[in-house]
A and B are shown apart, each in its own frame.
Chain A
Amino acid sequence: METTLPLEDDFDFEDDVEDFDDTLNYSHKNLNDIDFNELLTTIKSPNRVINFELNSNKLLVVPNEIEKFQSLITLELSNNQLVQLPHEIGSLKNLKNLHLKNNALSDLSFPKEMLQLKQLELINLIGNRFKQFPHQLFHMINLKEIYLSSNQITMLSDQFQNFTKVEVLYLGANRIGNIPDSIGCMCSLIVLNLCDNRLRTLPRSISRLTQLKSLSLHNNQFCALPPDIIRLDLQELSLRNNPLVVRFVRDLTYDVPSLKELAARTIKLHKINYDDKSIPKVLVDYLNSAKSCLNPKCKGVYFESCHKSVKFVDFCGKFYLPLLQFLCSPACTSTSTCQMATTHSDDMNSKFRKVLLG
């Protein structure tokens, strides 16, 4: 696979008699570190290499000599045994695509020089040992594709607002329990893969992902989805192997609102004036935190005690989704909360009316 890409200024015919091949393919060659070092010393004009393919070898380290490959745009190091990246990686000012799939990289593997790779557009870290989302990536504002599937990531920090150019985000097969709100800032996102995690819900900001076309949510713990999801124009949505309504409907409790909440609701409903001269500031903040009932006919609000109901919605004519609605009281559900009839006892039917997600 040695295609010669046209070089930008190749007018010096005296320089090279033969064609310079700017793609070096040393993949699947059983190279170990010693072989690799030898190999690097034999390469003429390393500063003109654009694609370097070293995948499927037995490399444990990337030698410092890599810094000589200043023109490198794509570095393919997948399927090796890398534990760390060298400091010199930061000197590759033209590097756009970094492939590191199936190695042994973890949270301490990136040197601080990694932050210098501000022009990086694709990073593939599938099948490594990250327990956290590599924070260095948050500073790489030119990233378009991030692949982090099959790691051991348990949580995501709320720093996704910088990823405004990211089009593809793969986070499948990790241990993520929650998606932060800032995911809604990823306005260029087209493909979002969250399958095989421990997700129970999505943030409402997901509805801001207007470019999103593919959403993988299968093999999680979803009981219902935020109603805003119907604003998306998806081509593909996977929801299989989630407990969804079948399981959650059996757990039911209904927390009666506190006196404080009832008083606050009345104040908001009757538009009674308040300010921090008449009541303590903490109550002013509480009153300001009121959320509106989703029932369009109800002008009510709620604070902590809301009735969460599940409504099945036909989505794009293809999917029949359970959507979660926040209502101020069970009386606000005009139709029965769940259209899913069961062949079990009437008990289930009455439970449907008093449903509250845990």
Chain B
Amino acid sequence: MTETLLNTITHDVQSARMKYMNTTAHLSTQPNSLKELIDLIYQAFATNEVDIDYVRTIMTNYKGDTKEWQQYVKFQPHRYTRNLVDGGNGKFNLMILCWAESQGSSIHNHSNSHCFMKCLQGTLIETKFAWPNGENEAEEAMHEIGRSELKDGKVAYINDSIGLHRVENPSHTDTGVTLHLYVPPYDHCNVYDERTGRANETHVTFYSRGGQLTKEE
């Protein structure tokens, strides 16, 4: 399944199939290190098309070594942290999120970007929600459409057409670490109140970039 990043409509199914065959067929699917994974991602996004299956495959296959991502692992007692690994020259953002015991995110959307999320350590729970009914003024509780566990290197994928989600570390004894890939990158998204469906726009920041703490708030 190939998706075009920019809004171009492909009338020619044949040529679409050819594009699919060409973009990633020549690339390896087995990244042996974080650096290799990043190289493969750069190559995969060399054109404006995102081969979701391919990206999912390489994210899943990346086994990785805790030493490789140690410099991005930073826990905070107040909330989970977002630590930028690679800014992708503006095409993608690869980051590591660190969830201390019992930390979780709010319900959020993904600003029309693709989101791949891989569990590197611990166990996370992803709860998906349907988009709130924006038609009338009436507020109603948001509707849960799925809940799944993410552990042992498993990769989850979401985009706005699938729905919204919340990610949390349910454990009180173990921390969680996840690897996220966003295509294209975004710095604003909406957070939703589960009880009413009300949305608030929020600015997303990084706790660290390339292992260095930022002063973003």
Chain A positions near chain B (C-beta within 8 angstroms): 101-102, 126-127, 149-150, 168, 170, 172-173, 190-191, 193, 195-196, 213-214, 216, 218, 235-236, 238, 240, 244-246, 317-320, 340-343
Specify the chain A residue showing the minimal Cβ separation from B173.
Answer: A127
Tell me the B183-215 residues at the A interface (CB within 8 Å).
191, 193-196, 198, 200, 202
Q: How far is the CA of A132 from the CA of B192 in the complex (A)?
A: 37
Contacts of B198 in A (CB 8 A): 320
Contact between A245 and B172, CB atoms less than 8 A apart: no
Residue of B78, B104, B193 near A191 (CB, 8 A) is: B78
Contact between B140 and A218, CB atoms less than 8 A apart: no
Contact between A101 and B173, CB atoms less than 8 A apart: yes
Specify the chain A residue showing the minimal Cβ separation from B139.
Answer: A340
Q: How far is the CA of A238 from the CA of B104 in the complex (A)?
A: 8
Chain A nearest Cβ from B133, distance in angstroms: 10
A150-B172, A214-B78, A342-B140 known; A195+B193 contact, CB < 8 A = no
Q: How far is the CA of A66 from the CA of B103 in the complex (A)?
A: 36
B18: interface (CB < 8 Å): no
| Contact mask for chain B residues 92-118; partner A; CB cutoff 8 A; 1 contact, 0 none | 000000000110100000000000000
> Told that A150-B173, A320-B193, A320-B198 touch, could you supply 18 new A-B pairs with CB distance under 8 A?
A127-B173, A149-B101, A149-B102, A149-B173, A170-B101, A191-B78, A195-B102, A214-B79, A235-B78, A236-B79, A240-B104, A240-B194, A317-B200, A320-B195, A340-B139, A341-B138, A342-B138, A342-B140
| Contact mask for chain B residues 145-185; partner A; CB cutoff 8 A; 1 contact, 0 none | 00000000000000000000010000011000000000000
Contacts of B138 in A (CB 8 A): 341-343
Contact between A127 and B172, CB atoms less than 8 A apart: yes
Question: How big is the B interface, by class?
Answer: 20 to 34
Q: How far is the CA of A102 from the CA of B171 in the complex (A)?
A: 13
Residue of A172, A236, A244 near B195 (CB, 8 A) is: A244
Contact between B79 and A245, CB atoms less than 8 A apart: no
Chain A nearest Cβ from B194, distance in angstroms: 6
Q: How far is the CA of A317 from the CA of B166 in the complex (A)?
A: 20
Chain B nearest Cβ from A234, distance in angstroms: 9
Contact between B140 and A196, CB atoms less than 8 A apart: no
Residue of A102, A240, A245, A342 near B166 (CB, 8 A) is: A240
Residue of B137, B141, B200 near A246 (CB, 8 A) is: B141
Residue of B141, B172, B191, B200 near A149 (CB, 8 A) is: B172
Q: How far is the CA of A102 from the CA of B191 in the complex (A)?
A: 35
B77: interface (CB < 8 Å): yes
A240-B166, A320-B193 known; A126+B77 contact, CB < 8 A = no
Dominant secondary structure at the B interface: loop
Q: How far is the CA of A244 from the CA of B102 in the complex (A)?
A: 20
Specify the chain B residue showing the minimal Cβ separation from A78.
Answer: B173
Q: How far is the CA of A13 from the CA of B137 in the complex (A)?
A: 79
A193-B102, A240-B104, A341-B137 known; A245+B195 contact, CB < 8 A = yes
A149-B102, A238-B104, A340-B139 known; A173+B172 contact, CB < 8 A = yes
Residue of B77, B104, B173 near A168 (CB, 8 A) is: B77
Specify the chain B residue showing the minimal Cβ separation from A242.
Answer: B195
Contact between B141 and A172, CB atoms less than 8 A apart: no
Specify the chain B residue showing the minimal Cβ separation from A320.
Answer: B193
Tell which of B102, B138, B139, B194 has the most Cβ of chain A within 10 Å.
B102
Chain A nearest Cβ from B206, distance in angstroms: 16
Chain B nearest Cβ from A224, distance in angstroms: 12
Specify the chain A residue showing the minimal Cβ separation from B217.
Answer: A235
Contact between B102 and A216, CB atoms less than 8 A apart: yes
Q: How far is the CA of A318 from the CA of B202 in the complex (A)?
A: 9
The 4 A-B residue pairs whose C-beta atoms are closest, nearest first, are A149-B172, A214-B78, A150-B172, A173-B172
Residue of A170, A318, A343 near B140 (CB, 8 A) is: A343
Specify the chain B residue showing the minimal Cβ separation from A244.
Answer: B195
Contact between A218 and B200, CB atoms less than 8 A apart: no
Contact between A236 and B78, CB atoms less than 8 A apart: yes
